[in-house]
Amino acid sequence: MGIPKKLIICLFLATTMAIQTTTALMPYTRTSLWDLMLPPDDPFRILEQTPLSSPKSIETLALARCDWKETPTSHVITLDVPGLTKEDIKIEVEENRVLRIGGERKEEKEIEGERWHRFERISGKFWRQFRLPEHADLERVKVHLENGVLRIEVPKVVAEEKKRKVIDIAEERKVGGEDIKAMKKDEM
């Protein structure tokens, strides 16, 4: 699999031509190559890109728009996947706490004698991934698909309350029937 031509051209232009931005306090600042590659609204979206590829297109993201909210007991990730069945979707958790959701919406095949008047629905493969926090319980993930909405619930690990252990205080020992305190007083 080769590197896409568009990516090579973009990287070449970015490294050979300094992109100038101006602000009131810094009239000539150079934008770094990383600034060009990282999405400005969410730097963690770079996790959604495959190595050596350009950022996902708007069409690909439209295949599975998502929301992620945290409740007191869980993390809930909701994706819009209209027209997909559970067989079209694959969900896995990688060992580095990354939840990966992938799938494919197949394009309708053209049949001879039929003519399209509009072809607006997007088809193709998609994948989204989310790095889950430490307190996410990856063993109890629940997934529901209903009416084109995929709902993934990742419960939080319940922090165990540390039980206090009461330690009994031992009474003073007696040596040979005599009290230790009494022996020490006599020796003085």
Position 50 scores a pLDDT of 47
Q: What is the pLDDT of residues 53-89, one digit of tens each?
A: 444 455 555 567 889 999 999 999 999 998 899 999 9
- Examine the domain organization and report whether 78 and 150 are in the same domain: yes
Mean pLDDT of 30-50: 56
Q: What is the pLDDT of residues 3-12, one digit of tens each?
A: 677 777 766 6
In angstroms, rounded to a whole number, what is the distance separating the alpha carbons of residues 53 and 5?
Answer: 10
Q: Residue 15 falls within a domain, yes or no?
A: yes
Q: Residue 173 falls within a domain, yes or no?
A: no
Position 177 scores a pLDDT of 59
pLDDT exceeds 60 at position 30: no
Number of domains in the chain: 2
Which pTM value belongs to this model?
0.54
| DSSP state, residue 72 | S
Residue 137 is part of which domain span?
Answer: 56-108+118-157
In angstroms, rounded to a whole number, what is the distance separating the alpha carbons of residues 53 and 38?
Answer: 13
